[in-house]
Amino acid sequence: MRKTVVELFAGVGGFRVGLEKSSREWDFVWANQWEPLRKAQDAYKCYVHHFGESERHVNVDINEIDKKSIPDHNLLVGGFPCQDYSVASTGAKGIQGKKGVLWWNIFEILKAKNPAFVLLENVDRLLKSPSSQRGRDFGIMLSCLKELGYGVEWRVINAAEYGLPQRRRRVFIFAFRNDTKYYNDYKNLNFRECIHSKGFFYSQFPISDEDGLSNQCRLDYKNIIEVSNQFSFKFMNSGVMINGYIYTESVQADYNGKYGLLKNILEGNVDSIYYLNGELGDWKYMKGAKRIERVSKTGHKYIFSEGKIAFPDPIDKPSRTMLTSEASKNRSTHIVNDPHTGKMRKLTPLECERLNGFPDNWTDTGMSERFRYFCMGNALVVNLVELMGKKLNKIVDYEE
């Protein structure tokens, strides 16, 4: 089986960087990146800067793409936005939420091209959304994959728990078509083996042998609209779906290697523009604990509260999760005490790239510095994809 890949919502190429680090055999036959509401398509320009101008690299809204025109491929990858995937009862594709339609684009591509394997990434709150009907959105996704003949395994992975310098927690979803050798072997495993010893994630991301809290159910609904209206379920941070049977378990990472530290990715001789100037009072206030009385639009009084964030950020630990707002002056922005100068400063764009495992100056391709931070706040940790790529190499080779 050829190692052909389609990359959706490609950003600056995180999936591609990770997979190509795992093996040069991956052939990216098509990639799509489109940033809505932005005239300057800087992420796409960064992608083609590194991977070349090509008719296979498409800067068009995915909603406008004829799914049958996408090249055949054996692996579909993408980190798609987490939105509301509720299916409206009027119309076959009714969606609540402007970006919810992006899942249905994945669904339509799977229907049209039927790749053997799928690897997706999202924020971990996907497993709990929406708050009014916990687990519904992920249940809809699993129902779609079941309908198309896929088995699924998922795991929430915190990069820092496997030796990387950022506490970035994301859910990875691996789907495999039911006519593959991999599926045929997988379906004969018991649920515990799938998660604790023989599944997709275990070999690269080991977990404690102890059993955690678990939950299970069966997707037994007439259609996806019925799932949208009725399904509610407590998903844990790992799980399996085979032939409509769902098993989920809360697991703990079991890593015995060397942990990544924020100080290990810091630059020396940082430009003075990154240092804090003047009084630190604003920063101390933003980072401090608060209890503030506020009034809602309806006149209801309530207490807004938030906990303290370390100021400056400790550099002898992994960093906090980097957000898209890293460039601005706000509570979530990282501030470190520079070990070379003893003065406090922000992280540089290059340091943010290192936190996600990108090569130095990957986004230094003509975009604004502010958007360089934004891209890294949106990106995945490519080291994790590299590890998954090593497992995928064996799986695809086995299909031969």
Phi, psi of 183 (to 5 degrees): -60, -45
Strands 245-249, 238-242: pairing kind: antiparallel
135: left (phi over 0), alpha (psi -120 to 50) or beta: left
Q: Burial code of 63-98, b = ≥16 C-beta within 10 A, e = fewer?
A: eebeeeebeebbbbbbbbebbebbbeeeeeeebebe
Q: Give the residue, 400 or 169, on which the prediction is more confident.
A: 169
Report the pLDDT averaged over residues 125-148: 93
The letter for the amino acid at 55 is E
pLDDT digits (tens, 9 = 90+) for 259-278: 999 999 999 999 999 999 87
Residue linked to tokens 């100080």: 263
pTM, full prediction:
0.94
Distance CA(221)–CA(243), nearest Å, equals 13
| Per-residue pLDDT at 112 | 98
Q: Which of 46, 82, 194, 217 is catalytic?
A: 82
DSSP 179: T
Q: How far apart are CA 127 and CA 24, in angstroms?
A: 33
269: left (phi over 0), alpha (psi -120 to 50) or beta: left
Active site residue 82: yes
Which pLDDT band holds residue 82 (cuts at 50, 70, 90)? Answer: low
pLDDT in tens, 316-364: 999 999 999 999 999 999 999 999 999 999 999 999 999 999 999 999 9
Average the pLDDT over 235-242 and give the result.
98
Across the chain, mean pLDDT equals 93
Confidence category of residue 279, pLDDT binned at 50, 70, 90: confident
CA distances from 301 to 293, 306, 325 (A): 7, 17, 29
Domains of the chain: 4-255+381-398 (3.40.50.150), 262-348 (no CATH)
Q: Please determine, for residue 313, whether its predicted confidence score (pLDDT) is greater than 90.
A: yes
Q: Which helix (H) or strand (E) holds 143?
A: helix 136-147
Cα dihedral sign for 329, 332, 337, 341? negative
Is the pLDDT reported for residue 203 higher than 50? yes
pLDDT at 165 over 90: yes
Confidence of residue 190 (pLDDT cuts 50, 70, 90): very high
Percent of the chain residues past pLDDT 70, beyond the cut? 95
What's the rounded mean pLDDT across residues 84-105?
54
Q: Which is it for strands 150-158 and 238-242: parallel, antiparallel or unpaired?
A: antiparallel
Q: What is the dihedral of CA 352, 353, 354, 359, to 10 degrees?
A: -160
For residue 84, is pLDDT > 80? no
